[in-house]
Amino acid sequence: MTRSPAMMALRWLVFALAAFIMNFPVIATLITSLKSDAEISSYPGLFIQSPTLVNYVAIFEMSDRFDITHYLANSLVMSLIGAGLALLLAFPAAYAMVRLEIGTKWVMPLIVNLRAIPLIIFAIPIYLMYQQVDLLDTRLGMGFIQCLVNLPLVLVLLATSIAELPEEIEEAARVDGASTFQILVRIVAPISVNVIAASAVLSFIYSWNEFLFGLILTTSNAVPISVGASFFFAASGGGVRWGVAAAVMILATLTPLVLGLLMYRQIGRSMTAGAVKG
């Protein structure tokens, strides 16, 4: 490919256009969230005449009816459970599959293929099951679901990474009398810290953004922000307060956006590995 200055300028232009168009909903929402109601209705364009934070303040004034901190806290807790539990379950399982060759015949292909199955299939029986065991509308119940959703990817990422580790260290430790559990915790876990962190971040983002099960399994106590955000569209009776709605959407998406910007390398590598190895 040519690297002439003109071609590079053209590439910059295409990049800027693509970035603008693909990120357009977030950009437009951010701009709207910084305008007053009057300005939104008189001028919906892409420039802000008098920037203001009134919409962000207004969100917290209606916390008696729609409590955004509650939804954010719910999302945080269930995403942490979802990411943490998935790692806790998948790490030993991945090791068993790669090194001890247990479960490679059935469990592994089953879980990997799970990614390709529409989750709505399991949503209804899980709803009925949760109803019987009082897990409906709980953070714990939602955490379990997030774990289920994340398991396939986390397992693939961990198994791929463990398979690439040199086996000699583990064998040396075994000769010295270390048990499998000790090897796992003292040797494999510390050298896998990068892939564990990357899987955790990606699982956290996926959990934070999950919507279907949040919609079905929660009603008030455990409503995640992905579901709660839409409540603000109907918050003031008749008309939607678009500025407030926009501010809510920005707050709702801030956490994964910041994580995505800070850790794009790890996330990109995980997404690629998860896609190609799966």
Between CA 130 and CA 71 the distance in angstroms is 21
For residue 235, state whether it binds other proteins (rule: CB under 8 A): no
Which residue of 73, 173, 197, 271 would you call a contact of other proteins, by CB under 8 A? 271
Q: What is the SS3 assignment for 156?
A: helix
For residue 268, state whether it binds other proteins (rule: CB under 8 A): yes
Which residue of 96, 153, 195, 198 would you call a contact of other proteins, by CB under 8 A? 96
107 neighbors 40 (Cβ within 8 angstroms): no
Which residue of 120, 163, 169, 191 would you call a contact of other proteins, by CB under 8 A? 120
Angle between helices 68-99 and 107-114 (to 10 degrees): 150
For residue 71, state whether it binds other proteins (rule: CB under 8 A): no
For residue 81, state whether it binds other proteins (rule: CB under 8 A): no
For residue 72, state whether it binds other proteins (rule: CB under 8 A): no
226 neighbors 208 (Cβ within 8 angstroms): yes
Which residue of 226, 244, 247, 266 would you call a contact of other proteins, by CB under 8 A? 226
The least distance separating other proteins from the CB of residue 203, rounded to whole angstroms, comes to 13
257 neighbors 26 (Cβ within 8 angstroms): yes
For residue 8, state whether it binds other proteins (rule: CB under 8 A): yes
Residues in the chain: 278
Binding to other proteins by CB under 8 A, coded x per residue (else -) over 128-167, reads xx-xx-----------xx-xx--x---x------------
For residue 70, state whether it binds other proteins (rule: CB under 8 A): no
Closest Cα to residue 224, out of 82, 49, 113, 39?
82
The least distance separating other proteins from the CB of residue 193, rounded to whole angstroms, comes to 19
108 neighbors 170 (Cβ within 8 angstroms): no
